Structure 1
Amino acid sequence: MQEILCRKRDALFILPYVAIVQEKVRDLSAFGIECNFLVEEYAGSKGRFPPFKHRKKNSLYIATIEKAHSLVNSLIETERINSLGLVVVDELHMLGEGSRGAVLEMALSKILYTSKTTQIIGMSATLNNVSDLQHFLKAEHYTSNFRPIQLKEYVKIRDGIYEVDNKSEDGFTFARLLNYKYSSDMKKIDPDHLIALVTEIIPQHSCLLFCPTKKNCENVSKMLCKYLSKSFLSVKAKEKCALIAELKDIGNGVICPVLRGTVPYGLAYHHSGLTNDERKVIEQAYSEGILCLLTCTSTLAAGVNLPARRVILRSPYVARDFLKRNQYKQMIGRAGRAGIDTEGESILITQEQDKKLVADLISKPMECCYSSLIHSSEKGIKDLLLSLIGLKVAQTLDKIVEFMDGTLLGVQQQHHFNEKSFLEVMEQALQPLMEKGLIKGRMSRSSEGEEMCCQLEVTKLGHATYKASVDLDYCDTLNMDLKKSLEGLVLDNYLHLIYLVTPYDMVSHCTPDWMIYFRQFHQLDVIEQNVFAAVGVPESFLTKKASGQAVKKTVNGLVVKRFYMSLVLYSLFKEMNMWSVAQKFNLPRGFTQNLLSSTAAFSSSVLHFCEELEEFWAYRALFTDLTQKLSYCVKPELIPLMEVSGVREARARQLYNAGYRSLSYLANAIPDMLVKTIEHLSRRQAIQIVSSAKMLLNEKAEALLEAVEELVRLPTDIP
């Protein structure tokens, strides 16, 4: 607020997940309306590069890590990076978490190198090697152990509860015995005493129960309901019925049988197998106290804000991996939130054999945060070098080394490189970029023969690759696929175009069911079947695979798998229900949802890729239309409502049917009237929807006014 309202400069808020970005956009839009600034969403396929240059209003950009990096690139390229007064990074420890950490490090390093006036604030509850990050960000360090609500940590071994006590010899001291009468049947089904632990809390208070796997979440929620008292059914029964009706509405009359059985008891599971709409409705019901317990996976710990009176960790493992200290702290940190609870507690269930490991877990310091630029065969370094050269931030080896010295990797050189010099590492990273035809330049040694001099520039392909944020592993494949398809692009339907924007990196997550593949081919019309041949999946191949025969003719495996996913997307594109498509292809509905979201984002990247290469001019209009359609996969009349942050298909349909058929109508709606006319809508949700619609309308109006002013403005060189 201070940066935007007092210093009159833009601010960027970087968050780890799309769901949190959307939550913050909804929460902060009301402030923007009242205080006359813009709140702009940069997540998924949303966000304009470069952003509109507003002369009368400042902007708060709320972005995922990847979108924030693209935004920073566009501001550097247009020489507007100094318009960014403040950058706030939530969950700063994600710098050390693989490819996403590398992207975050790139964005922050570029801001530090190109702007002397932008302030960076990083926040984290789980950092250890703070001095490295201080050095990297040239930062002051503030830390506090203050917690408004005290958190008590416990460990459960057999039927004993032990309080975490760092002063004791083994890290915890005996607190109490569990007091709950179990039948012999219950002891077999619930050896961890989960029923005893949750019934001490629910239904009066909220509880989160973290499970090692998605399947375990569902099984545990079913098991708990089997033994819960029938009195649970009468608690907020009317609201639970409305929740079940809303979940049915989302699934076009279909509801997950597990949820149908658990919701009446006030329980639900929460993991990536849910669709976005289901997850949002379940989170809302939990926040409002309709649901008192969620069985969830570790991903919820870093997701949306869902606090609890008690947090239970069913196991010190996530899948087969033992918990990291950072993960443990993230999970138990959900217990006891100010303004919601007066106290909070966590209970970690462990077996006798893991007692020593758990003692280390609760007492050892946080894991150190190390640069991810060398993650996956130094992919991060290569990505960074390509964009540095393309943006003309650093085009010679000495400038590149100077820039890299200021990265977190540069600060931690000795940890990562024992024998190689930084210069050698950069030279090696540049080589594959040259081999792929992404950069070009001449190399020569200085007259003293010591220092390597190199003037580098990006090729057209390199420029398109970094501008579109296309993965270096697939940029040449994408280029070839687009070129090949120009020779025989099938435009009688959208299937061929959808194939071209199906993400390459999703292929490894999906194995085709050959009988379903074969069946899908024969359910399409003749023109749609032509696309199979156009991309390289012959009917004879599918026939043999479906019948279990050996295939002698070589067919590209990547193409075959990718086209199978294209058929899934094509079914969604034709406005089929997410549940129906998932069932049709025998896929988890959460995976199907994720595939659609990833494809919309990749389609946006492919569009930007084509905009930078003249030979692909024909694709531009086609991919502009396709990206918008993939982003929403709804009837065209619902798209303006779906653009409002947080409005999903089911809600958009409700609003449209109630007469709110345009963004303008929705922005001028009265929240109390919305609550009366729209089923399952709380007053808080109504206020957020109206504020978000007003903000989006303001953004569109501002953009049009800026365009008009630009048209009528006289050039400064005319006397």
Structure 2
Amino acid sequence: QQQQQQQQQQQQQRQAEQETSRQGDSTRAPAAAAAAANNNSNNNNNDNNNNTNNNTNNNNNKNHDINNNHDINNNSNNNNSNNNSNNNNHEMGVGPGGKSATATSKVDARFQLVEELRQAPSGLCPVLAKTVPRGVAYHHAGLTVEERTLLETAYRTGTLSCLCATSTLAAGVNLPARRVIIRSMKIGSQSLDAVRFRQMAGRAGRVGLDVKGECIVVAKTSKDAAEAQCLFSAELAPLRSSLHGQRLARAVLEVVSLGLIQTVEALEGRFARSLLRCQEELAQQGGHEPGALLEDIRVALAYLEERQLVRVDSAAGNNNSNNNSNNNNTNNDNHNNRQLVRVESAAGVGAGNINNNINSNNNSSNINNNQQQQQQLEGRQLVRVDSAASMDGLQASEVVAAAGAPARRHPPQATLLSTPLGDGVVHSSLRPAEALSVFEDLQKARKGLRLDTELHLIFLATPASSGLEPDWPRFLSYYERLQPRDRAVADAVGVSHNFLVKQSMGHRGPLGDLPATGGGAPPGAPTDWRQERERIAALHRRFWAALALRELAAEAAPSRVAAAFAVPRGALQALQGLAATYCGMVRQLCERLRWHEMAALFDCLTPRLNFGVCPEGQPLCRIAGVYPARARALLEAGLTTVEAVANASVASVEVILRKLSQFESHRSDAEAARRQEVVVRQTAMKIVRGAQDRLGELLQNLEDEAEEEQLRVRRAISGTG
């Protein structure tokens, strides 16, 4: 390899000298030769560190490409526009029959990027296999994390010259460019607004990274051209507080559960200092109608109180008004000790009991049925939202209707207490409506959880708003091929064969004689057939996502699962990560309710959803560069622990990776085979180094724990003495 590198160095030196001599500028020949020598030196020094192409590209300042997108890299490397100009002149100084060292290194970098994409967990996309060698790639939500990281890095370093992206890239990823082309004045069915336009246009010529930038808007009609002109000078819409609906209800629950406030008066005073209140005061000064923040707080409090997430103790408030100074500590004790729902009784309270307010001890703090009917007549009613549909876009009526009668008032000194269920909602980070839906599902599962299959537990750990739209005919076919035990789970959670048939046939009207699934809509929920259809459809989407997650947990290849369920690879990977996080949130809710058996089940399921590998391979998946398929290959080769991988030689790991990736040593293209060898070797080095780093972290954690234990023992001994 060293001999090949020396030969390449000599060849590139000769090419640089010939090119400069053809230009007739003999004074630049030594400088060009020196630049080429430095570039090759950098290549030699960094070939084993997976930086060969990047260093070559950076030293050559590869800025003059098709779209001139990456003068940024030149500026960031040199911090000097004069150097940038000189380097561009050097690169462009190529005769008609010659090819510069920079162009050669850029092509090599692109082909190496193709090999790195081929080694990714999802494999090489056929589209990227054709476009990346030409310096073009795409970027959208369908990419996996590994693909996205590789493409973004290649774009920053200049390996890629053109990136075709969706509008979400502008808002989420810092990828500065020389030129941004907006090819349409619409994003989907919505017109481009000033905020999105400036987000996308702002990627061109970032301050500190480039000296200039260009933004081109393609206007297909005269109307589009006029709208584009308006966007150039349009003012941004004012920022608005998002403290409303479920967000306001959760904010109220948080301050009560964490003990930040103890009374109704303190609650109203705390939100009086919020951004929403300041905006309301400014609106009143401008002659607008006064806001209704305090009324919204009361409505949110009534919402939490009715669902037994918060208790309002008016009697304690009366005592506080007589003995303010003596009862501060009492309020704190009440907050910590007094509970509306006792720990074990909370485990037995069903969603129907919550919604119907059967608890006779709390009639004074709950809104009874007559009051609900009166509120409905007056135009302001509490809407129950523990259905999955409410988490999937039906946000308008999550807490209250827009207008109507004021909510029930409590004395200013009334004490606010959080129930165990309310504490569980806060510590699980779930929204109140979503937590109530999870609580209802868990209640049913505790009475009949199917443990002969993982599907039931995975369904409970699947977010209701998974965002995975099924292919309904494919869903129906999959459902009809389910094993009997899986079919029993589908029936238990409310999946309907009739509904799948109707969806597969394209029926989108009223459900008709279709039986209600999952126990039907909760009491008091809207009866509009569209909302009922959406509720049932959301349940089936959730089950479809659970089926995909079950395949991943069984170590199925992500590419195969994505093809079987007709979903993008990136969307499937995002669902996997979201489900692992959601599973931890559900486990936290079970812990707060002291359902320790259920919590233990979710605790074991979380890493399986996160890594998609058996328990034996989970420690290996924590090593950098190891994904489930590689973890399985390492296990089969006898490297069953992090320590074993850390002590293994790079050559042995390279042999394992070659078998896994079906290494093509017979390829006719010798250069392609060499690049594949380089990528496999670099990956093996990355895995071994990652295992060594991981082992060091584990040892450091053990040392820290030992020091903490010694400190605790010393404190205990000194306290005893």
Output one character per residue of 1:578-609: Cα deviation in whole Å (capped at 9) or x when no partner. Answer: 22112212223332222222111111100111
Superposition map of 1:249-328 within 5 A:
249-250=119-120, 255-328=124-197
CA distance change for structure 1 residues 704 and 541 in 2, over 3 Å: closer, same or farther? same
1:381 maps to which of 230, 248, 255: 248
Bigger fraction of residues in helix: 2
- TM-score between the two structures when normalised by the length of structure 1: 0.59
Q: Could you tell me which runs of 5 or more consecutive residues in structure 1 were left unpaired when the two chains were aligned.
A: 1-196, 208-230
CA distance change for structure 1 residues 488 and 657 in 2, over 3 Å: closer, same or farther? closer
User: 3-state DSSP class of the match of 1:559?
Assistant: helix
Shift of 1:474: 1.9
**1:563 paired residue number:** 543
CA distance in 1, matches of 2:279, 2:71: 49
CA distance in 2, matches of 1:612, 1:278: 39
Output one character per residue of 1:363-409: Cα deviation in whole Å (capped at 9) or x when no partner. Answer: 244432221112xxx22111111010000001212211222133222
The AA in structure 2 aligned to 1:626 is L
Is residue 654–residue 678 contact of structure 1 (8 Å, CA) maintained in 2? no
- Coordinate RMSD, CA, aligned: 4.2
CA distance change for structure 1 residues 393 and 244 in 2, over 3 Å: closer, same or farther? same
Q: Could you tell me which runs of 5 or more consecutive residues in structure 2 were left unpaired when the two chains were aligned.
A: 1-63, 75-98, 323-408, 519-535, 655-676
Is residue 476–residue 500 contact of structure 2 (8 Å, CA) maintained in 1? yes
CA distance in 1, matches of 2:460, 2:695: 35
CA distance in 2, matches of 1:457, 1:427: 15
Superposition map of 1:271-670 within 5 A:
271-336=140-205, 341=210, 343-351=212-220, 352-374=222-244, 378-414=245-281, 418-420=289-291, 422-443=293-314, 452-506=412-466, 509-537=467-495, 552-556=514-518, 557=536, 558-614=538-594, 616-643=595-622, 648-649=627-628, 662-663=641-642
CA distance in 1, matches of 2:142, 2:307: 38
The AA in structure 2 aligned to 1:622 is L
Output one character per residue of 1:646-696: Cα deviation in whole Å (capped at 9) or x when no partner. Answer: 865577679889998655577899999999986284999889958974784
Is residue 241–residue 264 contact of structure 1 (8 Å, CA) maintained in 2? yes
Is residue 472–residue 500 contact of structure 2 (8 Å, CA) maintained in 1? yes
**2:116 paired residue number:** 246
The AA in structure 1 aligned to 2:424 is A
Farther-moved stretch of structure 1 (529-538 vs 707-716): 707-716
CA distance in 2, matches of 1:267, 1:504: 37
**Aligned length in residues:** 493
User: 3-state DSSP class of the match of 1:440?
Assistant: strand
The AA in structure 2 aligned to 1:423 is L
CA distance in 2, matches of 1:198, 1:322: 32
Superposition map of 1:119-198 within 5 A:
none
1:705 aligns with 2:706: yes
The AA in structure 1 aligned to 2:238 is C
Output one character per residue of 1:612-652: Cα deviation in whole Å (capped at 9) or x when no partner. Answer: 012x2211211111011111113444422433578655776
CA distance change for structure 1 residues 546 and 391 in 2, over 3 Å: closer, same or farther? same
CA distance in 2, matches of 1:306, 1:668: 38
The AA in structure 1 aligned to 2:559 is W
Is residue 248–residue 255 contact of structure 1 (8 Å, CA) maintained in 2? yes
Output one character per residue of 1:94-150: Cα deviation in whole Å (capped at 9) or x when no partner. Answer: xxxxxxxxxxxxxxxxxxxxxxxxxxxxxxxxxxxxxxxxxxxxxxxxxxxxxxxxx
CA distance in 1, matches of 2:105, 2:639: 34
Output one character per residue of 1:60-85: Cα deviation in whole Å (capped at 9) or x when no partner. Answer: xxxxxxxxxxxxxxxxxxxxxxxxxx
**2:3 paired residue number:** none
**2:364 paired residue number:** none
The AA in structure 2 aligned to 1:398 is E
Identity between Structure 1 and Structure 2 (%):
32
The AA in structure 2 aligned to 1:404 is F
Q: Which has the higher contact order (CA 8 A, sep 6+)?
A: 1
CA distance change for structure 1 residues 570 and 687 in 2, over 3 Å: closer, same or farther? closer
Output one character per residue of 1:255-305: Cα deviation in whole Å (capped at 9) or x when no partner. Answer: 333222212211110000112222122223323333221111122223333
CA distance in 1, matches of 2:502, 2:580: 33
Output one character per residue of 1:199-227: Cα deviation in whole Å (capped at 9) or x when no partner. Answer: 352798889xxxxxxxxxxxxxxxxxxxx
CA distance in 2, matches of 1:384, 1:541: 38
CA distance in 2, matches of 1:697, 1:381: 41
CA distance in 2, matches of 1:305, 1:683: 30
User: 3-state DSSP class of the match of 1:453?
Assistant: coil
The AA in structure 2 aligned to 1:593 is Q
CA distance in 1, matches of 2:504, 2:539: 17
The AA in structure 2 aligned to 1:639 is Q
User: 3-state DSSP class of the match of 2:308?
Assistant: coil
Tell me which structure has the larger Cα radius of gyration: 2
CA distance in 1, matches of 2:106, 2:291: 65
Output one character per residue of 1:18-71: Cα deviation in whole Å (capped at 9) or x when no partner. Answer: xxxxxxxxxxxxxxxxxxxxxxxxxxxxxxxxxxxxxxxxxxxxxxxxxxxxxx
Shift of 1:323: 3.3
CA distance in 2, matches of 1:686, 1:514: 41
**2:406 paired residue number:** none
- TM-score between the two structures when normalised by the length of structure 2: 0.59
Shift of 1:307: 2.4
CA distance in 2, matches of 1:597, 1:707: 33
CA distance in 2, matches of 1:278, 1:473: 36
Farther-moved stretch of structure 1 (298-307 vs 490-499): 298-307
**1:140 paired residue number:** none
CA distance in 2, matches of 1:534, 1:450: 42
The AA in structure 2 aligned to 1:437 is Q
CA distance in 1, matches of 2:312, 2:628: 50
CA distance in 2, matches of 1:333, 1:610: 45
**2:26 paired residue number:** none
User: 3-state DSSP class of the match of 1:291?
Assistant: coil
Is residue 281–residue 290 contact of structure 2 (8 Å, CA) maintained in 1? no
